[in-house]
Amino acid sequence: MYFESLYEVFFMGGHGTYVWSAYLFTSSVILIMVWLPMARLRRSIKRLASKFKAG
């Protein structure tokens, strides 16, 4: 571990805001990218299931 305290981890010598916001943005886009197709797949399967039951 490079940093000595938790405060240093967040502060990062004044660059903390930049670094953490960049990582936060990347993580949220990645989560959306991974989660969205899975949710869409589940939704389509559900819709198809109800359609097959009805028809």
Partner 1 sequence: MWKFFHKLGSPPWFYSIAGAILRWLVPITLFLLIVGYAWGLLFTAPDFRQGNSYRIMYVHVPAAVVALAGYYVMALAGAICIIWNMKMAEIAMRATAPVGALLTLIALVTGGIWGKPTWGAWWVWDARTTSMLILLFLYIGVIVLYEAYEDKSGGSRAAGILALVGTVNIPIIYKSVDWWYSLHQPASITFTGGSAIESSMLYPLLLMITVFYSLFTCCVLANMRVSLIKRESRSSWVRTLVEED
- Write 28-36 long-range contacts (CB < 8 A, 24+): none
CB of 11 to partner 1, least distance (A): 9
Question: CB neighbours of 9 closer than 8 A, spacing ≥ 6?
Answer: 3
Q: Under rule CB under 8 A, which residues in 4-43 are in contact with partner 1?
A: 9, 12-16, 18-19, 21-23, 25-27, 29-30, 32-34, 37-38, 40-41
Which single residue is written with the structure tokens 């571990």?
A: 1
Q: Please give the residue ranges that form the binding site for partner 1 (CB under 8 A).
A: 1-3, 9, 12-16, 18-19, 21-23, 25-27, 29-30, 32-34, 37-38, 40-41, 44-45, 48-49, 52
